[in-house]
Structure 1
Amino acid sequence: MTHINDSILETLAYFDVFNYPLTKGEIFLFLHKKYDHFTLESGLQNLVLNKKIYRFNNFYTLINDPTLIKRREKGNDKAAHMLKIAKKISHILIKFPYVRGIAVSGSLSKNFADEKSDIDLFIITATDRLWIARTIMHLFKKLTFLVNKQHFFCMNYYIDEQQLEIVEKNIYTATEVVTLIPMEGDTVFENFFAANNWTRNYLPNNILRLSSARQVKNSWFKMGIEFIFNNKIGNAIDNKLKEITQKRWQKKTQQEKQNMHGVIMSMEANKHFSKPDPSKYQNKLLTRYEDKVFRLLHEYETSSAV
């Protein structure tokens, strides 16, 4: 019983970092080790009975606070509305040159949003044309500031078709990968999920699904623009845009500029990806999670030994 209890506590601890209670089905999907439903049910009953976790209706949490459930339910309702907007936005952005796939990421992909939430987008581009695609899309984003809709276009993670596998492999990146909600680009996301089946090492019950995204239908305009840049000149432009963007972001980081959420703006990039610097958020979150798990399991083992 101890092993399943530890796994349940570890899973709840991860989402507790975000103040997000889980259902039994969600706990099963995000267990870090493979267990069946019967074993999970036994573990949950034992932990609730011993007041190591708390149950409110269909939700489980580490904290005896029913307001967390109300917060989640309100956030789920808000997310349902924002996902409809995200679908429309994705349908617009997929029309841009060299864009091959778009998915919703971040808290919205976990079916949660509040008044401060953005629509975070994970974007896959054609090989060796990431920086042309990214630049055009971000020029478009500047127009959204005029109508105060910039928070609907948070295009902060790009990869291209040559490097579909996520380099960092940990519980955070595994969770982010399996919770992506593909909106556009069915084939490219099927390839993406196949390239990232390493997530099963962290979330063995969460088998990556086939993409639910819509099939991409390229317009004559999109194909025409790509035809113009599918040559050595296009290669040179893409490389130059990468160089310019990296220098701009290095300057932002050196000046310690912060985004709307108070996080220092920093980017990690090369020819085939552009993403937030893991050391600025991801690593800090993992440290918080690991500290929480250590304290939680220590308290549990100590109380069980009494």
Structure 2
Amino acid sequence: MKEVLVPLIFFAQFNRPLTLKQIRRYAWGKEFGMDELKRILKRAAVKQSGEFYYLEESQVQNALEREQRAEKFWKYVKRFLWIFANVPFLKMAAVQNSLAYGSVGKKSDIDLLIVTRKNRIWTARAFLLLWLSLFNLRTTSKRKYMKFSPEILIDEAALNLGSYVVSNDYLIHYQMADTVPIWNVPFWKTFLSANCWIKAKLPVAYRSSNIREEFGNTASASWFAWLMECMLSGKFGDRVEAWAKIQQKKKLERARERLGITPNVVLGDHMIQTHFHGKWGEFREIIEEALAKYS
């Protein structure tokens, strides 16, 4: 029963009810047939409204509104894809969390996963933040709604994020399984193959990536990005990368001191993660407590 309850509990944190097909997709560590799922849900006394299953009434309240808001966000993302075309050394851009789940709140931002060329992660981040800040598209402590938040960046030498996964790490599994690539979508297959550990806990979701058709042909770098890559390659580019790392780490370290030390901040040569207010550990505790309640 745990395998079926986990997705219902997890997505309750995002006020998202699930259909039978979605429960099958998100079932934890096991595959189920539809008839078997129906029997388990009935035995677990899971609530149902139309095609949706849920544990708490809050999951179905404003569900349609959140879904419609997500579609509005996707149109906004497509409108600014040119930003990513102008970032040198970019291998892939993708969306994660609430927007990827299709359940967007009134204060939601747009969480980004960025993959860069090897040894150019800090340079690429500098250009990305420059564009986002220049056009007022970057999330801040005061402005979050419909703003871009590039909180996770990795380079192509560190595609496998398995070393960051702990036992029953529900958040990172669902986060990775429902990631939506928006720029250079073909690279997603390479990224997913490097993270095949997802398959053990989410076998159906691993086989059915969350791909949106409107982002299928968005991988042409601009002349500006091409020119910057030519200029910032080789030893000169290495020096610029080292300088960019020093300057950005100073700002991030000051932010970490101001906000308090958190395990969700990583500032390395191949990965940058800036979840200053992350709740990864809390998610596991919430789900484990809820499992004890509903099982």
TM-score of the superposition, structure 1-length normalised? 0.83
SS at match of 1:246: helix
1:190 CA displacement: 1.4
Q: Which amino acid aligns with 1:25?
A: K
Alignment RMSD? 2.6
Alignment of 1:16-55 (within 5 A): 16-32=12-28, 33-47=30-44, 52-55=45-48
Quote the Cα distance in structure 2 between the aligned partners of 1:202 and 1:266: 22
Q: 1:207 to 1:81 in 2, by over 3 A?
A: same
Quote the Cα distance in structure 1 between the aligned partners of 2:80 and 2:195: 26
Aligned-residue sequence identity (percent) comes to 22
Q: Which amino acid aligns with 2:64?
A: E
Q: Which amino acid aligns with 1:44?
A: L
CA contact (8 A) 1:123 1:157 kept: yes
Task: Note the residue ranges of structure 2 that are not aligned, 5 or more in a row.
Answer: none
Quote the Cα distance in structure 2 between the aligned partners of 1:168 and 1:138: 25
Quote the Cα distance in structure 1 between the aligned partners of 2:6 and 2:144: 37
Match of 1:220 in 2: 223
Q: Which amino acid aligns with 1:121?
A: L
1:239 CA displacement: 2.2
Given candidates 236, 252, 273, the residue that maps to 2:239 is 236
Match of 2:281 in 1: 283
Task: Note the residue ranges of structure 1 that are not aligned, 5 or more in a row.
Answer: 258-262, 298-306
Q: 1:240 to 1:151 in 2, by over 3 A?
A: farther
Alignment of 1:131-210 (within 5 A): 131-145=122-136, 151-166=146-161, 167-169=163-165, 170-209=169-208
Q: Which amino acid aligns with 1:6?
A: K
Deviations 1:2-53 (A, max 9, x none): xxx3322222112222332111111101111222222112212333xxxx21
Bigger RCO (CA 8 Å, 6+ sep): 2
Match of 1:260 in 2: none
Quote the Cα distance in structure 2 between the aligned partners of 1:252 and 1:266: 13
Alignment of 1:17-166 (within 5 A): 17-32=13-28, 33-47=30-44, 52-63=45-56, 65=57, 68-145=59-136, 151-166=146-161
Q: 1:59 to 1:12 in 2, by over 3 A?
A: same
SS at match of 1:162: coil
Q: Does 1:273 align with 2:271?
A: yes
SS at match of 1:207: helix
Higher relative helix content: 1
1:121 CA displacement: 1.5
CA contact (8 A) 1:249 1:266 kept: no
CA contact (8 A) 1:95 1:218 kept: yes
Structure 1 stretch displaced more, 161-170 or 264-273:
264-273
Count residues with an aligned counterpart.
282
TM-score of the superposition, structure 2-length normalised? 0.86
State the structure with more CA Rg: 1
Deviations 1:95-148 (A, max 9, x none): 211112111112000011122111222111111111001011112222233997
CA contact (8 A) 1:197 1:208 kept: no
SS at match of 2:204: coil
SS at match of 2:114: strand
1:149 CA displacement: 8.5
Deviations 1:177-234 (A, max 9, x none): 1111111113321100111111011112213446664252233332111011111121
Q: Does 1:250 align with 2:250?
A: no
Q: Which runs of 4+ in 1 moved over 6 A?
A: 146-150, 263-266
CA contact (8 A) 1:178 1:208 kept: no
SS at match of 1:206: helix
SS at match of 2:62: helix
